[in-house]
Structure 1
Amino acid sequence: CHGLMLVFEHIGGVPPVIVMDNATGAGRRNAKGEVALTGVFSAFVAHYRLEVRFCNPYSGNEKGSVENAVGFLRRNLMVPPMRAESYGQLSRLLLERCDGLARDSYCPRLPDVPVAEVFDEERAALMPLPSTAFDPVRWESRTADKYGLVDIDSNRYLAGPDSARSKVLAAIRWDTVTLASPATGELLAEYPRQYGRSRNVEDPALVLPRLAVKPRAWRESSIRPDVPDDIRAWLDSMDEKTLRESLKAIGDACRAAGFDPAMQACGEILRSNRDMGLHADS
């Protein structure tokens, strides 16, 4: 849905009809041959006032035309493989290459006319873009485990120890997973969405309070590599009592200001007076 939105915005309108290959993200075909749209895609179609057609699995020409178009774009836009700093930048680069391809290619039925020129004439058939942007999001209710972790698509995201064994509302978008309290709507955490499997995704600011209760787990904690070297070495050298107090103080600072500012403050404290320690007052 997000990809189609980018295309619609780029061409300045909405095509009245789109033809889909049998993409499971859009819909599933049952034994009778009927297609049931997914929740998000159904809302997307209603928002943009689209007519959607799915390829007939028994008509090779329909499915073949879609696959041929995909193959054409792969060969002409993605060879050699593209490099980009983000998915957003990659999308912009691909759209720019599509525009260049349209300018340099000629319409099969009109050999002397570039594709871009023919498409400019066809823009008149596009429907206007809606005045309100569509938010392609899937809402799901999950129960956190005893550590406050929520399982989404075979990955576990930390909602926080306060959410252990309680309901959590997850807003799943193509690039982010946002966790909130269903009772109050309070934002618990937001993470980049993971597309691998069996990963734990944790916000250091939410892990630190749990470590303060069990400071012996500090050396094996998942967030230890995220802590700067000088602060990590100082914490490693502390006895259990001081380590517990320091982790609690850092956790409080993270909740107030965020992980990176808290780490910067810790570094300043240790550089100015290493013996003072990382306590709540400092």
Structure 2
Amino acid sequence: MEAVHEGEIVDVHALIMSFPASNTGFVVPLPSENQECFLSGLKLLFKQAGGIPLSIRIDNLTPAVKKVRGSEGEAQLTDEFMAFKNHYGFKVQVCNPRSGHEKGNVERKVGYVRYNFFSVPPVIKDFDDLTEQLYQKFLIDRKRMHYRKEAIIEDLWACEQKQLLKLPDNDYSVFKQTTIKFNKYNEFKLDQHLIHVPKAKNYSQLYCITFWNEFKVITNEGEVLLSDARPYMRKRRLIPWKDILKDWVYKPRVVGHSRYREYLPARVREYLLTPSLSLRKQRINEIITLLVQYDMKGINEQFYELISKNDEVVSNPYDVEWSQYDALQPIGGENHEGNH
């Protein structure tokens, strides 16, 4: 799915767990589908559910299954997933290949999440913020009637939740340690990106510790040489503002109702939402011109300077009392979701 962070598009991979008896669901948004994300996501799903299912049915996802079920025998789990399973004490049922009907309840839940919670990409601060947003949506969702049983989902879940295993006292640390191979420029590859480690050749051997959201480069003695976010945590795609604004020029009235309205930075949004449609059209064209040299974030940051250059009425070119507005709303502020 997609979300919007600071005016840019973020790709989201959602790990979903469904409880068929009550039709309760839980979802954790993640930046990737690797093993660290999968196991960290499962930990959070257990925490949200308040316990551990007795048995989990999964498809043949690579982080959990290294050999699918076939004529030669049952599916084989990865060593890391086996250790995780033994720590939490649940059983695992692996579906047959290409057999989505064997886990039909969660397949339907995937569609339910996509169409109800991501039909319009949500505005987020980070993955933790999106996790909380989705958790709250599912809390509200439990108050509806079960699609077949004549009962509220929340009441059915209260009964089903009693069957869960207790969470262990000791947390399970999810990470992966690998030996690093450097090129002649002191670079190594992580998540298909080259990472430079200064003075790496001064050490006979270095290791990379990867977590779901960050990594560390350490020596044999445990000294941390580099610590940073994983490359995919910075992966963003620009919203095609030029194309969107060109459509708005011909239909300036739709700006106030457009799904993209909330993704505009606050100052630009207020500037374009002037009641006068003729003035709104003029201002849209003005922003289109500025997009030749600046991105939308840059226009917002240099708003006063850029707009005043192109506005004839310099004394009050905005129709907004910005001194009062900015006193309440800092640049990139968290109280106005349109900034994110």
Range class of TM-score, shorter chain: 0.5 to 0.7
Distance in 2 (CA, whole Å) between partners of 1:10 and 1:68 is 20
- How much does 1:11 deviate? 1.8
Q: TM-score, normalised by structure 2?
A: 0.53
- Structure 1 counterpart of 2:115: 75
Q: Give matches, 1:41-190, under 5 Å.
A: 41-57=81-97, 59-103=99-143, 105-111=144-150, 113-163=151-201, 166-181=204-219, 183-190=220-227
Distance in 2 (CA, whole Å) between partners of 1:69 and 1:33 is 30
- Structure 2 counterpart of 1:39: 79
Q: Which runs of 5+ in 1 are unaligned?
A: 198-282
Q: Give matches, 1:187-266, under 5 Å.
A: 187-195=224-232
Equivalenced residues, count = 195
8 Å Cα contact 2:51/2:161 also seen in 1: yes
Q: Give matches, 1:262-277, under 5 Å.
A: none
8 Å Cα contact 2:213/2:233 also seen in 1: no
Distance in 1 (CA, whole Å) between partners of 2:115 and 2:145 is 17
Q: TM-score, normalised by structure 1?
A: 0.63
Distance in 2 (CA, whole Å) between partners of 1:94 and 1:190 is 29
- Structure 1 counterpart of 2:61: 23
Superposition RMSD in Å: 2.4
Distance in 2 (CA, whole Å) between partners of 1:138 and 1:57 is 27
Local SS of the residue matching 2:57: strand
- How much does 1:38 deviate? 2.6
User: Which stretches of structure 1, 4 residues or more, deviate above 6 A after TM superposition?
Assistant: none
- How much does 1:146 deviate? 2.6
Distance in 2 (CA, whole Å) between partners of 1:55 and 1:152 is 31
- Structure 1 counterpart of 2:334: none
Distance in 1 (CA, whole Å) between partners of 2:101 and 2:200 is 56
- How much does 1:36 deviate? 2.6
8 Å Cα contact 1:175/1:192 also seen in 2: yes
Deviates most, 186-195 or 58-67: 58-67
Distance in 2 (CA, whole Å) between partners of 1:165 and 1:147 is 14
Local SS of the residue matching 1:42: helix
Distance in 1 (CA, whole Å) between partners of 2:106 and 2:67 is 18
- Structure 1 counterpart of 2:6: none
- How much does 1:166 deviate? 3.9
* % identical aligned pairs: 28
8 Å Cα contact 1:158/1:189 also seen in 2: no
Which amino acid in structure 1 is aligned with residue 232 of structure 2?
Y
Which amino acid in structure 2 is aligned with residue 192 of structure 1?
A
For residues 45-94 of structure 1, what are the alpha-carbon distances to aligned partners after superposition, in whole Å with 9 as ceiling and x for unaligned? 12111111111226452144432221112112222111211111111111
Change in Cα spacing, 1:64 to 1:121, as seen in structure 2 (3 Å) is closer
For residues 191-227 of structure 1, what are the alpha-carbon distances to aligned partners after superposition, in whole Å with 9 as ceiling and x for unaligned? 1112399xxxxxxxxxxxxxxxxxxxxxxxxxxxxxx
Which amino acid in structure 2 is aligned with residue 130 of structure 1?
P
Change in Cα spacing, 1:72 to 1:180, as seen in structure 2 (3 Å) is same
- How much does 1:161 deviate? 1.6
